Chain A
Amino acid sequence: MSEKVRTRLEELDDFEEGSQKELLNLTQQDYVNRIEELNQSLKDAWASDQKVKALKIVIQCSKLLSDTSVIQFYPSKFVLITDILDTFGKLVYERIFSMCVDNRSVLPDHFSPENANDTAKETCLNWFFKIASIRELIPRFYVEASILKCNKFLSKMGISECLPRLTCMIRGIGDPLVSVYARAYLCRVGMEVAPHLKESLNKNFFDFLLTFKQIHGDTVQNQLVVQGVELPSYLPLYSPAMDWIFQCISYHAPETLLTEMMERCKKLGNNALLLNSVMSAFRAEFIATRSMDFIGMIKECDESGFPKHLLFRSLGLNLALADPPESDRLQILNEAWKVITKLKNPQDYINCAEVWVEYTCRHFTKREVNTVLADVIKHMTPDRAFEDSYPQLQLIIKKVIAHFHDFSVLFSVEKFLPFLDMFQKESVRVEVCKCIMEAFIKHQQEPTKDPVILNALLHVCKTMHDSVNALTLEDEKRMLSYLINGFIKMVSFGRDFEQQLSFYVESRSMFCNLEPVLVQLIHSVNRLAMETRKVMKGNHSRKTAAFVRACVAYCFITIPSLAGIFTRLNLYLHSGQVALANQCLSQADAFFKAAISLIPEVPKMINIDGKMRPSESFLLEFLCNFFSTLLIVPDHPEHGVLFLVRELLNVIQDYTWEDNSDDKIRIYTCVLHLLAAMSQETYLYHIDKVDSNDSLYGGDSKFLAENNKLCETVMAQILEHLKTLAKDEALKRQSSLGLSFFNSILAHGDLRNNKLNQLSVNLWHLAQRHGCADTRTMVKTLEYIKKRSKQPDMNHLTELALRLPLQTRT
């Protein structure tokens, strides 16, 4: 037994010595990797039930924390290693916890030691005994702290007795940096396991104050000389640990405790480090109300010690969150900026200035903000220092934008645009422009014509637009277009329509590479034409008529530059409607002709959101829309009757349709509807001040005959198609198409015409012939016919209904 224990202990020593040496000559990344490896081997060892090995690894890791040979790396090392300690603590706790679980019950989360069984307690004690015999102080401290929670298994008072003891134990750590991190770890673990035990936290703080003088003692100073580290870069290494301790203490702490702590910090000389942590950890309100005190204390600090810009930065962070007393505000800014502006190093300067911009924007006017921006430009321009500080400069812009929702005020800040000029790297500049435009879209309520805003934003938008190149992603283009469109929609010169149009002309030349922007511009110009019509109440003067024609011309020459075929088609149709509404008949004709001549170019498949889709359904939709417009388009005096309709029918006829689709026939059915509507005495709708064919021809018999001829041609085409569907696999299509044709005739045709009447009866039979028809639909259709026949002038339907038998189920 004793032999076994001895060899175990020896092994433990070997493992520690050997592996620690291994870590001495590594680069930082290697070091990090090695620690990660250790973390993994800890988990592996635990998983394979090698508890002693796991303990060894943890001891070995925590030993690394006594080594300060590369002192700047110490905080990072602390984080890496405490991570492993946390893992270990969790593993041990969970294992002991699982021992308390028997078949019958599981321990509740808040259990008391009486609930833990003897085996669990014994295992737990074993761990503590093993740890108590670790030779070196630092590993012994860390490993015990890591399993602090396990005291819950042993006794109720365990943790509350352990914490003060561990706190005292830290006094034995000579190196002040090592000791402050040990305190931070203990506070962290303590807060996690027993947040109600505040005493030890305070004790840690006061102990720390007692050892504070060590930082300036010979041992530390000699070490810094050896490592070639200056005091201003050494002291900030304390901040993360101190901030943490201070934060733990100040959490929900009464005001009196904070005041006491601050007083005690004040009493110590060279206390900039303490001051900084107080400012980073205490409640912002607490700091803000005492801002002037803090500025006084910061001023008194030793120049050579903790960097002042960090102190001002910390103060600035508090003031960004909480407001100081009204009366102190300007003085605070003046005092702080006096120091900030003197900072020589651009990095130090910008880190500090960036924080204070928030305070300036919150409490002061554009004058002060302008001064601050000017100062930043002055500091960051020499030697192109801004190149290294884009993130901070971007933050400054974001803060300024966030506080100035009124863009006319924002752009009247003289230095705002010069400030933007510092963003010389294109990607950053575009990012900043995007931020500005987002803010504009979000906050601008009223349309504007303010020349300052327009100039500035056009410049911003142009910057965004010019960043687009062949490699720009679709998403990015969409985003930029959205932002630019947001701007265009917000520009209004009120009644000065010509100015408005020239703005659109200018925009078109600026943003020609973004299709959605061009589309927006066309819509805007169309809207402008309609606005003009509204103002003139439909009666254009010579001047407005010319203006409207200019608008129409704008659209006509812009549309061809677009790539999307359906975008072009729809815009032609839409612009044609606008032209028609403004009595520009020949222009409207031009739009419609352009649309018709474009149809043959519609490809079979189009790209929608990155996927290739058949285009026919889109074409069908467009054509139906087109037909509705064609009803009211008056015939051109120099062309034949129904010139546009004929032209369109030719195009449809020549278009190569899908082999197995009935879309062409559906379109023909729609054409029939159009022709039926055209043969009415008065059309269903009109455009004010435009004479449609009904009044042009006044029901002229020649016109009607032309119309009828067209109808017959189209119907012949439909019947032809129905015939080709008489094959087995197409019977179903034949039936439904036949029925739909029947319905069209029923709705639009004059069934007193014998031929038509006979045709509809034939279609009815055709629909039912092969048993493909849905009986319920047929029944309903028949019921509808019977119902309609009761209306006046519809008697002939009674007779028709009699001739439509219902197929019996077979």
Chain B
Amino acid sequence: MGTSLDIKIKRANKVYHAGEILSGVVVISSKDSVQHQGVSLTMEGTVNLQLSAKSVGVFEAFYNSVKPIQILNSTIEMVKPGKFPSGKTEIPFEFPLHVKSNKVLYETYHGVFVNIQPQKGKLTPSPVDFTITPETLQNVKERALLPKFLIRGHLNSTNCVITQPLTGELVVESSEAAIRSVELQLVRVETCGCAEGYARDATEIQNIQIADGDVCRGLSVPIHMVFPRLFTCPTLETTNFKVEFEVNIVVLLHADHLITENFPLKLCRV
């Protein structure tokens, strides 16, 4: 094939917000001149609810509601039928980003249920202090078998700006058993549903180790996690679906004791 076609978008990071103008160039390159029937460019934005293998049964119940929801659609004619000369031809274009009436433009993200292809809020800091001891744990079968430990710490805020890392501190004040690892587990909870019922799915999207080995007692270890760009979006709640985030602090002791403390997060973009 002698002809190639490429769309280049001007912004290096490819992030655009509602109301802004998306601009770029269409690059056509070929060895010989090319006859064509005209070039038109279509911009489309959809919300795609997908079936997860895990919950196929549930979805069949409200199958109808998983049709893609279109939220953006515009087409422009760029060139009338004619001929491209040989070599490289660049055709610039611009699209205003206007959402279809009565739809909201969500941030792009790739999830299990929800894929949003081609977004704001005010943040109030909400620090959380926590203390983990054998007594504070739920779901423990035999509390007496647990080695004694005292872990204290705090998250600077559970309301997070998506572009800023999650921060805080953790101090192992005491622990009978040696510590093997401390990890931060970022979990996404997606809920899809309608009148007929709903499906909830929690997925680990990132796991970051913040302590490796038997850390020094009484010395604070920083909690620091950058939110992954592709797998997170601001916390969302719509009539058809919800996307929420949580963080688990997981402490692994020697002899395979696993201690988890869960904190729901609220992500937003400022």
Contact = CB atoms under 8 A, between A and B. Distances in A.
Interface string A431-445: 000000000000000
A132 interface: yes
B57 to A, nearest CB: 23
Contacts of A213: 216
A168 B219 CA distance: 10
Contact of A178 (B13, B182, B213, B225): B213
Contacts of B221: 168, 171-172
A121 B215 CA distance: 36
A171 B11 contact: no
Interface in A137-152: 137-138, 140
B219 A169 contact: no
Given A118-B11, A210-B216, A129 B211 contact: no
A133 interface: yes
Contacts of A1: 110, 230
B207 interface: yes
Interface string B213-224: 111100111101
B178 A219 contact: yes
A169 B12 contact: no
A169 B224 contact: yes
A178 B212 CA distance: 10
A135 interface: yes
Interface in A96-139: 118-119, 121-122, 125, 128-129, 132-133, 135-138
Contact of B13 (A122, A132, A173): A122
B160 to A, nearest CB: 15
A138 B230 CA distance: 24
Nearest to B186: A133
Nearest to A129: B229
Given A133-B228, A135-B207, A171 B220 contact: yes
A237 to B, nearest CB: 16
A121 B207 contact: no
Nearest to A217: B214
A125 B214 CA distance: 32
Nearest to B225: A132
Contact of B210 (A132, A172, A207): A172
B123 to A, nearest CB: 20
A140 B208 CA distance: 9
B214 A174 contact: yes
B253 interface: no
Interface in A168-186: 168-169, 171-175, 178
A5 B230 CA distance: 9
B206 A133 contact: yes
A466 to B, nearest CB: 62
B210 A137 contact: yes
B213 A136 contact: no
A175 B213 CA distance: 6
Contacts of B207: 135
B222 A171 contact: yes
The size class of the interface chain A forms with chain B is 35 or more
Contacts of B12: 118-119, 121-122
A635 B97 CA distance: 125
A66 interface: yes
A169 B167 CA distance: 12
A713 interface: no
Interface in B88-116: 110, 115
Interface string A208-225: 001101100111000000
A646 B182 CA distance: 108
Contact of B219 (A125, A171, A175): A171
B179 interface: yes
Nearest to A68: B213
A361 B226 CA distance: 61
A132 B225 CA distance: 7
Nearest to A3: B110
A5 B178 CA distance: 36
Contacts of A169: 210, 222, 224
B215 A172 contact: yes
Q: Which of A125, A140, A172 has the most CB of B within 10 A?
A: A172
Interface in A186-230: 207, 210-211, 213-214, 217-219
Nearest to B115: A2
Contact of B226 (A132, A172, A175, A214): A132
A217 B219 CA distance: 15
B209 interface: yes
Contacts of B224: 165, 169
Nearest to B207: A135
A174 B179 contact: yes
Nearest to B178: A219
Given A1-B110, A135-B208, A135-B209, A172 B222 contact: yes
A553 to B, nearest CB: 87
Contacts of B179: 174
Contacts of A125: 13
A210 B13 CA distance: 43
A129 B220 contact: no
B212 A211 contact: no
Interface string A355-392: 00000000000000000000000000000000000000
26 contacts: A66-B212, A128-B226, A129-B226, A129-B229, A132-B208, A135-B209, A136-B209, A136-B212, A137-B209, A137-B211, A140-B208, A168-B221, A168-B222, A169-B210, A172-B209, A172-B210, A172-B211, A172-B221, A173-B211, A173-B212, A174-B211, A174-B213, A174-B216, A175-B213, A210-B219, A217-B214
Interface of B: 11-13, 110, 115, 165, 178-179, 182, 206-216, 219-222, 224-226, 228-230
State the 10 A-B residue pairs at the shortest beta-carbon distance, nearest first: A174-B213, A132-B226, A172-B211, A2-B110, A118-B12, A122-B12, A174-B214, A219-B214, A168-B222, A137-B209
Given A1-B230, A128-B226, A169-B224, 17 more contacts: A2-B230, A118-B12, A119-B12, A132-B165, A132-B226, A137-B212, A138-B212, A140-B208, A165-B222, A168-B221, A173-B215, A174-B179, A174-B211, A174-B214, A175-B214, A178-B213, A207-B219
